[in-house]
């Protein structure tokens, strides 16, 4: 029996390791609509660190999932738009069935992508929010355009309006981003607190930042740092330059644990745009001595 195709119908849905992985404090993130600001705001570093082993990633409004099973109101799915070594079809996990809807049937081939950290889908141009806190890199089909607004198709067949200034045209596998485009887009998130599994404008982890930036520019790369290590062309560390992905590994573990984007190199020492669990922040600073000792590789995937 083939998996059923559905789409995420909320601004952001967590992809959990299982229904028993959620905590009482995660209730605001499990409904439809979700209460993202309440959920993020209730978590400091300790609560966010506790998401490891619980929340693997997040999905954005309109993301397609393949539903393999449904148990007690939870859907077991894979996410084709988040390539992953765990399943050849996409990232596997669980989310509440209530956060899914039938695929959008409205709109033509034209698509747009959210280019700001957070925006709202409105019921009408300048009207009240229909879906709050729609994130950077959310991709939706265009139904019609007005002078300052775009009407987009939504999962389940509805439509809503987003400010044109918050959107860019989207085309999968369009030209690769330049280093300046990557770094400029990424700097929108400076000061954003780290969130394990995060891919939204409310919270990111290290590979969530790099995944989201490439997605914004029409490039589908793997979700996790270990898998991102295989994309692009290898770069000798002596030739490291702006826009290159930088990968870090501890000798005692032997696996890639962190990724960031080279912002610049001054006197041979790189500054990196990164979402850092060590700092619980999104920063753009010269890397530390410890980070430098863990820097093992770089990859280039630039236009």
Residue 190 and residue 296 in one domain: yes
Residue 21 and residue 123 in one domain: no
**Residue range(s) defining the domain that contains residue 75:** 4-101
Residue 122 and residue 183 in one domain: no
pLDDT value for 105: 62
Residue 183 and residue 292 in one domain: yes
Q: How far apart, in Å, are the Cα atoms of 68 and each of 2, 5, 26, 90, 171?
A: 8, 9, 24, 12, 28
Residue 68 and residue 133 in one domain: no
Question: Is there a domain that residue 230 lies in?
Answer: yes
Residue 132 and residue 71 in one domain: no
pLDDT value for 110: 94
How far apart (Å, rounded) are the C-alpha atoms in residues 241 and 244? 6
Question: Is there a domain that residue 242 lies in?
Answer: yes
Are residues 261 and 225 in contact, defined by beta-carbon separation less than 8 angstroms?
no
How far apart (Å, rounded) are the C-alpha atoms in residues 260 and 85? 20
pLDDT value for 1: 54
Question: Is there a domain that residue 218 lies in?
Answer: yes
Q: Interhelix angle for 179-186 vs 206-216, to 10°? A: 120
Question: Is there a domain that residue 145 lies in?
Answer: yes
Question: Is there a domain that residue 160 lies in?
Answer: yes
Residue 273 and residue 163 in one domain: no
Domain boundary pick from 170, 199, 220? 170
pLDDT value for 302: 96
Residue 89 and residue 116 in one domain: no
pLDDT value for 109: 82
CATH number at residue 11: 2.30.30.40
How far apart (Å, rounded) are the C-alpha atoms in residues 274 and 132? 26
pLDDT value for 252: 87
Question: Is there a domain that residue 156 lies in?
Answer: yes
Residue 18 and residue 72 in one domain: yes
Strand partners, 161: 122, 151
Domain boundary pick from 170, 188, 210? 170
Question: Is there a domain that residue 106 lies in?
Answer: no
Mean pLDDT, each 10-residue run in order, the chain (303 residues): 89 98 98 96 95 97 98 98 96 98 77 98 97 98 95 95 98 94 98 97 97 98 97 96 97 92 95 96 96 96 95
CATH number at residue 213: 3.90.1720.10
Domain boundary pick from 140, 170, 200? 170
How many structural domains are present in the chain? 3
pLDDT value for 193: 97
Residue 141 and residue 252 in one domain: no
Residue 81 and residue 121 in one domain: no
Residue 282 and residue 215 in one domain: yes
How far apart (Å, rounded) are the C-alpha atoms in residues 35 and 77? 22
């Amino acid at each position: 029996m083939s998996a059923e195709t559905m789409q995420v119908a909320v601004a952001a849905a967590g992809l959990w390791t299982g229904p028993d992985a959620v905590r009482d404090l995660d209730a605001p993130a499990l409904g439809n609509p979700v209460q993202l600001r309440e959920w993020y705001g209730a978590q400091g570093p300790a609560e966010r660190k506790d998401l490891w082993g619980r929340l693997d990633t997040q999905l954005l409004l309109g993301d397609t999932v393949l539903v393999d099973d449904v148990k007690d109101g939870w859907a077991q799915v894979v996410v084709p738009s988040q390539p992953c070594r765990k399943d050849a079809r996409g990232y596997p996990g669980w989310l509440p069935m209530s956060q899914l809807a039938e695929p959008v049937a409205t709109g033509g081939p034209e698509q747009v992508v959210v280019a700001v950290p957070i925006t709202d889908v409105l019921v009408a141009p300048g009207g009240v929010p229909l879906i709050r806190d729609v994130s950077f890199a959310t991709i939706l089909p265009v139904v019609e355009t007005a002078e300052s607004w775009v009407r987009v198709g939504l999962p389940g067949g509805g439509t809503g309006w987003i400010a044109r200034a918050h959107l860019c045209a989207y085309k999968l596998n369009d030209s690769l981003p330049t280093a300046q485009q990557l770094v400029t887009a990424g700097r929108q998130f400076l000061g954003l607190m780290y969130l394990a599994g995060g891919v939204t404008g409310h919270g990111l982890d290290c590979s969530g930042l790099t995944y989201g930036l490439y997605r914004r520019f029409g490039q589908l790369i793997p979700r996790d740092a270990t898998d991102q290590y295989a994309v692009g062309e290898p770069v000798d560390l002596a030739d490291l330059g702006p826009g290159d992905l930088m990968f870090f590994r501890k000798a005692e573990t032997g696996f890639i644990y962190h990724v960031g984007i080279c912002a610049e190199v001054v006197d041979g020492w790189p500054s990196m745009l990164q979402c850092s669990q060590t700092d619980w922040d999104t920063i753009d600073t010269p890397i530390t001595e410890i980070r430098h000792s863990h820097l093992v590789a770089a990859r280039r995937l630039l236009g």
